[in-house]
Amino acid sequence: MFDEDPETAFRTVSRIDILAYQHEFLAIAADIPGEYWTLQNFLIDLPSKWDLSFALWQKNLPIGYAILSKKSDYQVHLHHLMINRDHRARGWGTRMITEMSDRAEAAGATLLSLKAEKSNVSALRFYNRNGFSFKAEEGDFVILSTSLGSTT
Ligand SMILES: CC(C)(COP(=O)(O)OP(=O)(O)OC[C@H]1O[C@@H](n2cnc3c(N)ncnc32)[C@H](O)[C@@H]1OP(=O)(O)O)[C@@H](O)C(=O)NCCC(=O)NCCS
């Protein structure tokens, strides 16, 4: 079902990685209309951010990223999930959901949440398929969440 590529792997992302590969990190979402993240968004310090966040690296260059932090002892929030357009729809996003759930669970969280634009229909379908459900509405956005550690 998934690409098996020994040269592509997840690795925790550090501030140093962001600074060293800022051009590559910013380019990942370059085709997304309304994308607003600058270097400052990547670098802002948040609780447990540098333990939870990771990138998808191919030949030592980032081709995707998931930026996460702790909202509370039991809740991890996904701030940004992006995959380079050439690598979408190959199953990496699904694998990134598993990776972030494992990391959030290891950090003691029981809930993984995110905010998505209502108009981003394909992302909403992707999150629904990966176990997220509707929690609340915030203007043009919806809050989705999934419980961690359930065996069902
Ligand atoms: C949303 C996003 C992170 C999903 O990652 P992804 O790697 O594309 O996700 P997957 O490949 O696991 O699944 C996505 C699609 O590919 C299909 N797919 C999964 N594995 C596949 C495979 N091996 N071959 C072909 N298609 C596959 C899935 O059925 C799914 O189709 P659908 O959503 O059109 O019904 C990514 O598409 C992305 O970065 N989008 C732009 C940014 C964005 O919207 N981010 C979310 C903001 S909240």
Query: Does 116 sit in the ligand 1 pocket, CB within 6 Å?
Result: yes
Q: How confident is the model at residue 50 (pLDDT cuts 50, 70, 90)?
A: very high
Residue 3 is predicted with a pLDDT of 53
Residue nearest to atom 31 of ligand 1 (CA): 89
Query: Does 118 sit in the ligand 1 pocket, CB within 6 Å?
Result: no
Map out the domains of the chain with their CATH numbers. Answer: 8-147 (3.40.630.30)
Query: Does 97 sit in the ligand 1 pocket, CB within 6 Å?
Result: no
Query: Does 16 sit in the ligand 1 pocket, CB within 6 Å?
Result: no
52 or 34: which leads in pLDDT: 52
Helix (H, G, I), strand (E, B) or coil at 123: helix
Q: Please compute the mean of the pLDDT values over residues 60-86 and round it to a whole number.
A: 97
The pair of structure tokens assigned to 13 is: 């992302």
In this model, does residue 150 exceed pLDDT 70?
no
In this model, does residue 120 exceed pLDDT 60?
yes
Query: Does 65 sit in the ligand 1 pocket, CB within 6 Å?
Result: no
Question: Please, which residues have CB within 8 angstroms of residue 89's CB and are 6 or more apart in sequence?
Answer: none
In this model, does residue 5 exceed pLDDT 80?
no
Ligand 1 atom nearest to 35, measured from its CA: 42
Gap from CA of 84 to ligand 1 centroid (Å): 11
Q: Report the mean per-residue pLDDT for the chain.
A: 94
Residue 34 is predicted with a pLDDT of 86
Using CA atoms in the order 22, 29, 116, 5, what is the torsion angle rounded to 10 degrees? -90
In this model, does residue 9 exceed pLDDT 90?
yes
Q: Please compute the mean of the pLDDT values over residues 74-93 and round it to a whole number.
A: 97
Residue 1 is predicted with a pLDDT of 43
Q: Find, among 62, 76, 73, the residue nearest to 29 by Cα.
A: 62
Gap from CA of 39 to ligand 1 centroid (Å): 25
The pair of structure tokens assigned to 62 is: 């980032």
